[in-house]
C-alpha cells in the first residue's frame, strides 16, 4: 500500500511538486524549531532589532505552508511556492552579511554563503527545471511479424 501511495503522490505532484512539498515541510519544521526552542541569535542582530526570533519563525512557517501548498498546483501556477521558498533564506543571508559587515559575527560570511548557495541557489535552479525535461523511457519492442 505505501508503494501505491508514493506512486499516486509522484504522479499527482511530479518532480517540481515533490520538491516543493519537501521544501515546505522543511521550512515549516525549521520555523517550528524557532518557536519551540529558539537558538542563540548570534549574527541575527539585524532581525532581532525588529522582533524576536519567535516572531521571525512565523516567516519560515508561512513560507513553508505556501511552498508546500503550491506543490499541489499546476506547473506555472506553482511559481509562488518557489518565491515563498526563497524569501526566508534570503532574509537570513542578508542578516548574516550585515553582521559580518558590522563586525558582530565574522562567521556569518560562511553562513550567508551557505544560505545563498544551498538554499537560494538550489531553489532558483529547481524553479527553472521543466517537469518533463528527461526523455521518456523507450518502449520494449513488440513481438510480432517483422518485415
pLDDT at residue 63 is higher than 90:
yes
How much of the chain, in percent, has pLDDT values that exceed 90?
Answer: 63
3-class SS string, the chain: CHHHHHHHHHHHHHHHHHHHHHHHHHHHHHHHHHHHCCCCCCCCHHHHCCCCHHHHHHHHHHHHHHHHHHCCCCCCCCHHHHHHHHHHHHHHHHHHHHHHHHCCCCCHHHHHHHHHHHHHHHHHHHHHCCCCCCCCCCCCCCCCCCC
pTM (2 d.p.): 0.82
pLDDT tens digits, residue range 121-147?
Answer: 999 999 988 876 555 566 666 666 655
Q: Where are the domains of the chain?
A: 11-128
For the chain, what is the mean pLDDT? 88
Instruction: Read off the pLDDT of each residue in 106-132 and give the average, rounded to a whole number.
Output: 91
pLDDT tens digits, residue range 20-36?
Answer: 999 999 999 999 999 99
Give the model's confidence band at 76: pLDDT under 50 very low, under 70 low, under 90 confident, else very high: confident
Amino acid at each position: 500500500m505505501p508503494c501505491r501511495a508514493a506512486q499516486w503522490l509522484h504522479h499527482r505532484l511530479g518532480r517540481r511538486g515533490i520538491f516543493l512539498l519537501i521544501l515546505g515541510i522543511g521550512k515549516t519544521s525549521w520555523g517550528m524549531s524557532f518557536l519551540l526552542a529558539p537558538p542563540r541569535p548570534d549574527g541575527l542582530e539585524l532581525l532581532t532589532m525588529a522582533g524576536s526570533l519567535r516572531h521571525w519563525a512565523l516567516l519560515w512557517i508561512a513560507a513553508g505552508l505556501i511552498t508546500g501548498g503550491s506543490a499541489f498546483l499546476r506547473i506555472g501556477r506553482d511559481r509562488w511556492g518557489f518565491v515563498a521558498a526563497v524569501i526566508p533564506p534570503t532574509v537570513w543571508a542578508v542578516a548574516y552579511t550585515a553582521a559580518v559587515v558590522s563586525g558582530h559575527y565574522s562567521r556569518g560570511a560562511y553562513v550567508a554563503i551557505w544560505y545563498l548557495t544551498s538554499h537560494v541557489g538550489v531553489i532558483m535552479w529547481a524553479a527553472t527545471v521543466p517537469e518533463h525535461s528527461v526523455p521518456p523511457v523507450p518502449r520494449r519492442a513488440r513481438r510480432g511479424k517483422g518485415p
